[in-house]
């Protein structure tokens, strides 16, 4: 994990998906009751690196398809990030964690 227990001061959850699956991920989140905090979801890929979602009073989730604010990564660089990611299990679910380097 990138942050030892209690070291991260943020209260949201950050989730990254490959850019090609961002729309699918947004739809799944919406089906699960998460509300996007941007109106024009179709244009988000052109405008920004991710989208903030809320659910209930305390549910905060940031969905990212680029890893850096204001820096659009090429497809080949994205592939490098995902290829170097490490298999991980969180709450019994398979996931991936970015390579520490």
Contact between 65 and 19 under an 8 Å Cβ cutoff? The reply is yes
Confidence of residue 74 (pLDDT cuts 50, 70, 90): confident
Report the pLDDT averaged over residues 89-95. Answer: 89
pLDDT, tens only, 10-59: 678 889 998 889 899 999 999 999 999 887 777 776 777 888 899 988 88
Q: In the prediction, which pLDDT does 43 show?
A: 74
Q: In the prediction, which pLDDT does 12 show?
A: 80
**Which of the 8 DSSP states describes residue 90?**
E
Alpha helix (H) residue ranges in the chain: 22-31, 44-47, 75-84
Q: In the prediction, which pLDDT does 29 show?
A: 94
Q: What is the pTM of this model?
A: 0.76
Q: In the prediction, which pLDDT does 3 show?
A: 53
Please give the Cα distance from 48 to 61 (Å, whole number).
Answer: 16
Report the pLDDT averaged over residues 72-89. Answer: 88
Please give the Cα distance from 67 to 20 (Å, whole number).
Answer: 14
Please give the Cα distance from 38 to 65 (Å, whole number).
Answer: 15
Contact between 66 and 16 under an 8 Å Cβ cutoff? The reply is no
């Amino acid at each position: 994990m990138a942050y030892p227990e209690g070291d991260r001061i943020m209260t949201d959850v950050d989730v990254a998906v490959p850019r090609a699956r961002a729309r699918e991920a947004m739809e799944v989140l919406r089906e699960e009751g998460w509300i996007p905090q941007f109106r024009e979801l179709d244009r988000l890929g052109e405008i920004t690196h991710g989208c903030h979602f809320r659910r209930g009073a305390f549910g905060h989730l940031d969905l990212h398809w680029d890893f850096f604010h204001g820096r659009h990564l090429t497809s080949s660089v994205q592939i490098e990030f995902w290829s170097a990611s490490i298999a991980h299990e969180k709450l019994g679910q398979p996931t991936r964690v970015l390579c520490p380097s």
